[in-house]
């Protein structure tokens, strides 16, 4: 207890002394947790000393074992009721205000301070804050904050959600005349190449008991913290009133925020009372111009840009939903390498920290609010909607009361991020509203299993014309909830908060949605898996802006975009494998393997395929192989490689074909070699002998293919792009003799936040990566650290992520370590139990440099 009180004192001293310099201070450290429930936990007299110590963010579901009897929709994970406790001295003085901000708690949370209930919040993805001012014990008295997380109805989503306080928590302390939480809004409404107008909206609240006056100083800072524009004004404000102050500052020669140059400015807003600074808020923003044209697509800063996007869920494999910033940084950097320039936050608002990274790395973001509105989706069978029960009903039962609050809180907290260019009000909502199936003609309304291919939908024209759809709805019985009316309500709330971005939604049954009023309220209509109907929709609804918002990661999807100026781009399903959205019969498959990267963040064939499609600036080449027996290709009668199923390239599923990143087969075995490349021509060599040159223009599916009889040795592909030569090779490897560990950084700060990724790769005696043999690798770690987990990327492995042992995939696996607040030298080694396979020693220094004390 003495140690805890000492920590509290340090935190309080630091917070009050640095208040002028910061809007918020992290409140993540030194919580206590129990996966249990009792009516006594809310009592201020209850002692939590025996609970487990944790730092936030924290996901208690990922710590538990995967169980066959659990629900596949949420990755066979477990839920439960968990409680969090934190004891602390008041960070606010007697005359100060104090707020606590939760960026995300999953879910059905209740918040208590000193035995008094602050409130509750059912939606796990929207931020929320509470004013603690009237409930704090001040001076040296102790406070106890309790948070209950009720995720006992754990199958309330179609994907893995996690459970707990899985996003950051911050404390905000202000004076009684103050800028509230999320009380600033910075836009750049009038942009020119020589000047730009920065518009700053500031909320000011007076809770002092007297009419007051404050000087508000706004400084615009460039990336080097140089002042490039400012304004000062005296603002009178009456007691118990909120005042909205608007100011405009003209900035010369603006440096634009762009995809490859994500330049960030800051608006430093200072409240001054009698010459003394009493509050200082710093808001980052970017100067960028976004524009959609119904005929020409998307423009960024006046330049026509195709949106090369991916959909991402909020989990990250071994860490579950509590994803450290460095884990996202590694994953986003890899996607950037593939040419990705946009992220769709499927199907819920992204965390503030994730948006920070997108600002910094240069990603456009479609921030999505909801996966269901008035009515619940079937979590077990997805679009079939067969079963909805107590455990799977989800957020729909709270939607009527909380929709506006959560939508507006999400926008208030994230509207300053320059990365956000679209707000999505919903994802495939049509499934949940009666009538939509029957209206399309794709389904019989009376038989929800009787359907055409709704995903790829190959008919030349829709089963029902717009006139038939309108007639259907005219004769359809009136329902309690109307999809068009709810869409209109959500769009109005969104425009009320922000008119600088475009409103969209992902429409899965657009022939119905175009006639229900749903698409009328959208600025951009997003299509879910409809590349073969782009021309029909353009002809039928010529004035509507359109794009793909959920697309199969295949060449035909991107080809459809390249051939149509009016389609702004795509969002592939998905950028990274995610936990959940499985069925009970699919055990032990716990994750959805459709990503360019697997759950460990390792690239698969589709990653390199889209890198070859999306990177025009560099030559791209990669080689994968497969036995002729298991390949989707075969050698044709003319010696050329053809598809076993003609036209398969246009019918291919979301999951990439089974191919291998190695050249190890039986001598004489017939194989198919696939090369993913943007080179105009590629020549393949086997042990130095040419197997022929091919040309990209002849590859209908954009994949180079050769039929090759296996011989031990080396495959090498050589190509040219715009005259620039490139080559890539695969070599037959020997038996595994050792483990090679690599790391993605050499130092970390002792800040309870920094993460190092360690990759263990099996190698032969020549040091070559062995990608065919698999082993169970165990990691050993010396030095103070927080162990985050291991993962090989295999979606069927059900081993608990929190074990130090992982089974390799393609001969490699991942381990993640997070720093604590103690400087140390981290020493990592690995071995295979029962075999003489050892690794090199890898060292990471963890130091105090740059540490911010809590």
pLDDT digit string, tens, across residues 369-423 = 999 999 999 888 876 666 778 888 888 889 999 999 999 999 999 999 999 999 9
Beta-sheet pairing, 747-749 with 776-782: unpaired
Residue 743, strand partner residues:
758
Closest-CA residue to 341 (of 366, 370, 368): 366
pLDDT (average), residues 285-292:
97
> Does residue 217 contact residue 317 with C-beta atoms inside 8 Å?
no
CB-CB neighbours of 685 under 10 Å: 16
Please give the Cα distance from 327 to 108 (Å, whole number): 27
pLDDT digit string, tens, across residues 470-497 = 999 999 999 999 999 999 999 999 999 9
Is a pLDDT exceeding 80 seen at residue 458? no
pLDDT of residue 391: 82
Longest dimension (CA), the chain: 91
Compute φ and ψ for 392, nearest 5 degrees: -110, 0
Please give the Cα distance from 213 to 216 (Å, whole number): 10
pLDDT digit string, tens, across residues 503-559 = 999 999 999 999 999 999 999 999 999 998 999 999 999 999 999 999 999 999 999
> Does residue 161 contact residue 79 with C-beta atoms inside 8 Å?
no
17: pLDDT confidence band, cut at 50, 70 and 90?
very low
CA atoms within 13 A on the CB side of 113: 19
Please give the Cα distance from 779 to 777 (Å, whole number): 7
pLDDT of residue 23: 61
Lowest mean pLDDT among 164-168, 360-364, 580-584: 580-584
Between 682 and 190, name the one with better pLDDT: 682
- Looking at residue 382, the DSSP 8-state letter turns out to be B
> Does residue 811 contact residue 774 with C-beta atoms inside 8 Å?
yes
pLDDT digit string, tens, across residues 612-632 = 999 999 999 999 999 999 999
Rounded to the nearest 10 degrees, the angle between the axes of helix 483-497 and helix 399-414 is 30
Please give the Cα distance from 238 to 640 (Å, whole number): 82
Question: 621-648: string of b/e by CB count within 10 Å (b at 16+)?
Answer: bbbbbbebeebbbbbeeeeebbbeeeee
Tokens encoding 787: 């162990």
pLDDT of residue 122: 96
pLDDT digit string, tens, across residues 21-34 = 336 799 999 999 99
pLDDT of residue 384: 62
Is a pLDDT exceeding 50 seen at residue 852? no
Please give the Cα distance from 576 to 592 (Å, whole number): 9
Residue listed under structure tokens 């986003």: 332
Residue listed under structure tokens 């102790």: 142
Is a pLDDT exceeding 80 seen at residue 15? no
- State whether residue 444 is helix, strand or coil: strand
pLDDT (average), residues 320-342:
98
Closest-CA residue to 33 (of 9, 57, 61, 52): 52
pLDDT of residue 445: 53
446: pLDDT confidence band, cut at 50, 70 and 90?
low
pLDDT of residue 390: 81
pLDDT of residue 707: 97
3: pLDDT confidence band, cut at 50, 70 and 90?
very low
pLDDT of residue 393: 84
pLDDT (average), residues 688-713:
96
pLDDT of residue 850: 54
Is a pLDDT exceeding 80 seen at residue 447? no
pLDDT of residue 11: 43
pLDDT digit string, tens, across residues 244-256 = 999 999 999 999 9
Between 581 and 848, name the one with better pLDDT: 581
CB-CB neighbours of 12 under 10 Å: 16
Is a pLDDT exceeding 60 seen at residue 1? no
Residue listed under structure tokens 């695969």: 730
pLDDT digit string, tens, across residues 777-827 = 999 999 999 999 999 999 888 889 999 999 999 999 999 999 999 999 999
- CA dihedral sign, ordered 790, 795, 800, 801: positive
Is a pLDDT exceeding 50 seen at residue 10? no
pLDDT (average), residues 312-321:
97
pLDDT of residue 7: 37
Please give the Cα distance from 336 to 328 (Å, whole number): 12
Number of helices (H) and strands (E), helices first, in the chain?
A: 11, 54
77: pLDDT confidence band, cut at 50, 70 and 90?
very high
pLDDT digit string, tens, across residues 745-769 = 999 999 999 999 999 999 999 999 9
Q: What is the 3-state secondary structure (H, E, C) of 595-643?
A: CCECCCCCECHHHHHHHHHHCCCCCCEEEEEEECCCCCEEECCCCCEEE
Average pLDDT over all residues of the chain: 92
Q: Report the residue count for the chain.
A: 854
- Looking at residue 522, the DSSP 8-state letter turns out to be -
pLDDT (average), residues 621-646:
94
């Amino acid at each position: 207890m003495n140690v805890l009180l000492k920590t509290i004192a340090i935190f309080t001293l630091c917070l009050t002394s640095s208040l002028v310099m910061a809007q918020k201070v992290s409140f993540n450290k030194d919580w206590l947790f129990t996966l249990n429930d009792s009516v006594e936990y809310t009592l201020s007299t209850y002692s939590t000393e025996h609970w487990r110590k944790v730092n936030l963010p924290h996901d208690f579901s990922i710590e538990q074992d995967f169980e066959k009897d659990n629900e596949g929709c949420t990755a066979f994970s477990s839920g439960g009721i968990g409680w969090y406790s934190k004891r602390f001295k008041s960070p606010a003085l007697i005359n100060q205000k104090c707020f606590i901000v939760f960026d995300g708690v999953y879910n059905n949370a209740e918040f208590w301070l000193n035995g008094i209930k602050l409130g509750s919040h059912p939606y796990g993805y929207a931020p929320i804050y509470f004013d603690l001012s009237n409930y704090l014990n001040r001076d040296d008295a102790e406070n106890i904050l309790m948070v209950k997380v009720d995720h006992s109805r754990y199958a309330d989503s179609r994907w893995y959600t996690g459970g707990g306080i899985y996003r950051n928590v911050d404390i905000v302390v202000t004076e009684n005349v103050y800028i509230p939480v999320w009380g600033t809004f910075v836009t750049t409404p009038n942009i020119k190449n020589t000047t730009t107008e920065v518009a700053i909206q500031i909320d000011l609240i007076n809770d002092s008991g007297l009419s007051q006056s404050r000087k508000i100083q706004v400084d615009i800072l460039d990336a080097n913290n140089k002042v490039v524009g400012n304004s000062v004004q005296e603002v009178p404000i009456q007691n118990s009133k909120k005042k909205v102050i608007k100011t405009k500052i003209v900035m010369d020669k603006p440096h634009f925020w762009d995809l490859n140059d994500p330049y960030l400015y800051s608006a430093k807003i200072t409240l001054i009372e009698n010459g003394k600074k009493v509050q200082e808020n710093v808001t980052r923003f970017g100067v960028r111009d976004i524009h959609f044209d119904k005929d020409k697509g998307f423009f960024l800063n006046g330049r026509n840009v195709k949106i090369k996007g991916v959909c991402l869920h909020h989990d990250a494999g071994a860490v579950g939903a509590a994803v450290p910033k460095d884990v996202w940084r590694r994953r986003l950097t890899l996607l950037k390498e593939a040419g990705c320039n946009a992220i769709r936050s499927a199907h819920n608002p992204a965390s503030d920290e994730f948006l920070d990274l997108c600002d910094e790395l240069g990603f456009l973001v479609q921030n999505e609010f909801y996966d269901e509105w008035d009515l619940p989706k079937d979590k077990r069978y997805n679009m079939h909607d067969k079963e909805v029960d107590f455990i799977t009903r989800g957020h729909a039962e709270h939607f009527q009361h909380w929709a506006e609050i959560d939508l507006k809180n999400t926008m208030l907290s994230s509207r300053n991020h320059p990365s956000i260019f679209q707000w999505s009000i919903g994802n495939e909502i049509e499934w949940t509203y009666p009538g939509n199936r029957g209206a399309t003609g794709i389904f019989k309304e009376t038989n929800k299993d009787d359907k055409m291919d709704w995903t790829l939908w190959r008919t030349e024209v829709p089963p029902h014309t717009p006139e038939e759809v309108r007639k259907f709805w005219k004769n359809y019985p009136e329902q309690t909830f109307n999809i068009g009316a709810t869409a209109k309500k959500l769009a109005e709330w969104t425009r009320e908060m922000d008119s600088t971005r475009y409103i969209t939604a992902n429409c899965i049954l657009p022939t119905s949605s175009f006639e229900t009023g749903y698409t009328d309220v959208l600025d951009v209509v997003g299509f879910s898996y409809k590349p073969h109907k782009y021309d029909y929709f353009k002809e039928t609804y010529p004035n509507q802006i359109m794009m793909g918002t959920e697309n199969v990661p295949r060449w035909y999807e991107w080809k459809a975009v390249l051939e149509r100026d009016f389609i702004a781009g795509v969002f592939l399903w998905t950028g990274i494998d995610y936990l959940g959205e499985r069925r009970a019969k699919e055990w032990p498959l716990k994750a959805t393997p459709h990503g360019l990267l697997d759950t460990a963040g390792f690239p698969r064939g589709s990653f390199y395929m889209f890198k070859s499609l999306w990177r025009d600036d560099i030559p791209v080449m990669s080689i994968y192989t497969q036995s002729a027996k298991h390949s989707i290709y075969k050698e044709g009668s003319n010696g050329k490689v053809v598809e076993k199923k003609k036209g398969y390239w246009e019918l291919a599923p979301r999951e990439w074909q089974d191919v291998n990143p190695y050249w190890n087969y039986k001598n004489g075995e017939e194989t198919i070699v696939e090369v993913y490349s943007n080179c105009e021509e590629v020549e393949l060599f086997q042990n130095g002998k040419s197997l022929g040159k091919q040309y990209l223009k002849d590859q209908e599916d954009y994949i180079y293919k050769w039929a090759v009889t296996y011989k031990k040795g080396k495959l090498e592909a050589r190509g040219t792009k715009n005259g620039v030569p490139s080559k890539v090779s695969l070599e037959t490897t020997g038996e595994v003799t050792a483990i090679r560990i690599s790391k993605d950084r050499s130092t970390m700060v002792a800040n309870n936040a920094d993460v190092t990724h360690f990759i263990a790769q099996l190698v032969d005696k020549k040091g070559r990566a062995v990608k065919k043999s698999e082993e169970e690798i165990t990691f050993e770690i010396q030095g103070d650290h927080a162990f985050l987990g291991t993962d090989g990327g295999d979606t069927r492995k059900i081993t608990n992520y929190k074990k130090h042992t992982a089974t390799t995939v393609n001969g490699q696996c991942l381990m993640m370590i997070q720093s604590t607040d103690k400087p140390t030298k981290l020493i990592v080694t690995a071995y295979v139990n029962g075999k003489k396979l050892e690794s090199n020693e890898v060292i990471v220094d963890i130091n105090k440099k740059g540490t911010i004390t809590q």
